[in-house]
Copies of this chain bind each other. A is one copy, B any other.
């Protein structure tokens, strides 16, 4: 594509990443104020993976997400008002307040759902890809999961199934180095999780998950293969989580120094630098963008606060379709 469209593209990626960052920071503030019943898992620091990957997808493509799924939902175009309302347990939320942070989904728009079970979404993504293959729809499915999930049996069984049936699915492992507290180096005995692809005879690649361009490029290759019937790919995106695992995390398993160090590779700052260097934007424009987005996330909180609680009869609705 030509320079100007390329710049427009970059700018929209930037805005999406910033939206995720600001949304999560707002969620963190609300959580600290104890406005939520229940916990939530923030993806601050990992925005480039969600945005880079989803930017390649088309209408009709699907994703499955995880407990750390806000970024994936936003990258798939979710309405942050409905998301925030869901976290507040309001009837205006994606699940009428019945699912909460762990279960945000929007099946029509291709978000087959966050998941509270580590590894639970992996076979489901393969199933969505099977539908595409059987119906010859050319749609692909992206399956997000963390480094810790690669030690679940579901990972193994699902990748093998996707490979023997050559299904259009892209497995995206967001390796943020930690499970809840365990470092992935102590939980596997290999250098790169992407090498596990060899056990299934599919391509595996490790990308810099904090470089949105790099993420996009590798995702594009994988998506093109999948669309053309050439089967699944495993992408390992190396990234880092800034916040605690969840509300209750005291983070005794890592040092503040480590976290500060990692922030030097911040995906948003890196893109910002790039954009300024190439004179796409100036600082003032950036300030305007940030202001606009912060307005939107604050509005989301206001929307949620103003929304109604579900009626008691909602308890009994939706058990069966």
Residues of A within 8 A of B (CB): 151-157, 160, 163-164, 186-190, 195-196, 198-202
Q: Using Cβ atoms and an 8 Å threshold, which residues of chain B touch A186?
A: 164
Q: Using Cβ atoms and an 8 Å threshold, which residues of chain B touch A154?
A: 153
- Most chain B C-beta atoms within 10 Å of own C-beta, residue among A153, A155, A195: A153
Q: Does the CB pair A195–B199 fall under 8 Å? A: yes
Q: Does the CB pair A164–B187 fall under 8 Å? A: yes
- Please tell me which one of the listed residues B151, B188, B190, B201 contacts residue A189 in the complex, with CB atoms under 8 A apart: B201
Q: Using Cβ atoms and an 8 Å threshold, which residues of chain B touch A153?
A: 152-154, 156-157
Q: How far is the CB of A47 from chain B (nearest CB, A)?
A: 29
Q: Using Cβ atoms and an 8 Å threshold, which residues of chain B touch A160?
A: 151, 187-189
- Please tell me which one of the listed residues B190, B200, B201 contacts residue A200 in the complex, with CB atoms under 8 A apart: B190
Identical copies of this chain, number: 2
- Please tell me which one of the listed residues B152, B156, B189, B196 contacts residue A163 in the complex, with CB atoms under 8 A apart: B189
Q: How far is the CB of A197 from chain B (nearest CB, A)?
A: 9
Q: Using Cβ atoms and an 8 Å threshold, which residues of chain B touch A195?
A: 198-199
Q: How far is the CB of A60 from chain B (nearest CB, A)?
A: 26
Q: How far is the CB of A70 from chain B (nearest CB, A)?
A: 28
Q: Using Cβ atoms and an 8 Å threshold, which residues of chain B touch A151?
A: 156-157, 160
- Please tell me which one of the listed residues B157, B189, B198, B201 contacts residue A164 in the complex, with CB atoms under 8 A apart: B189
Q: Does the CB pair B152–A157 fall under 8 Å? A: yes
Q: How far is the CB of A55 from chain B (nearest CB, A)?
A: 29
- Most chain B C-beta atoms within 10 Å of own C-beta, residue among A156, A157, A164, A187: A156
Q: Using Cβ atoms and an 8 Å threshold, which residues of chain B touch A187?
A: 160, 164
Assembled-state Cα–Cα distance A152/B154 (Å): 9
Pairs across A and B, CB under 8 Å, 13 listed: A153-B157, A155-B156, A160-B188, A160-B189, A163-B188, A164-B186, A164-B188, A188-B200, A188-B201, A190-B200, A190-B201, A198-B198, A198-B199
Assembled-state Cα–Cα distance A200/B151 (Å): 10
Q: How far is the CB of A148 from chain B (nearest CB, A)?
A: 12
Q: How far is the CB of A122 from chain B (nearest CB, A)?
A: 11
Assembled-state Cα–Cα distance A151/B157 (Å): 6
Q: How far is the CB of A175 from chain B (nearest CB, A)?
A: 15
Assembled-state Cα–Cα distance A201/B186 (Å): 13
Q: Using Cβ atoms and an 8 Å threshold, which residues of chain B touch A190?
A: 198-201
Assembled-state Cα–Cα distance A189/B203 (Å): 12
**3 closest residue pairs by CB, A with B:** A153-B153, A156-B156, A189-B201
Assembled-state Cα–Cα distance A198/B195 (Å): 8
CB nearest neighbor in B for A187: B164
CB nearest neighbor in B for A161: B151
CB nearest neighbor in B for A202: B189
Assembled-state Cα–Cα distance A164/B150 (Å): 14
Q: Using Cβ atoms and an 8 Å threshold, which residues of chain B touch A156?
A: 151, 153, 155-157
- Most chain B C-beta atoms within 10 Å of own C-beta, residue among A153, A189, A196: A189
Q: How far is the CB of A198 from chain B (nearest CB, A)?
A: 6
Q: How far is the CB of A130 from chain B (nearest CB, A)?
A: 16
Q: How far is the CB of A152 from chain B (nearest CB, A)?
A: 7
Assembled-state Cα–Cα distance A199/B201 (Å): 12
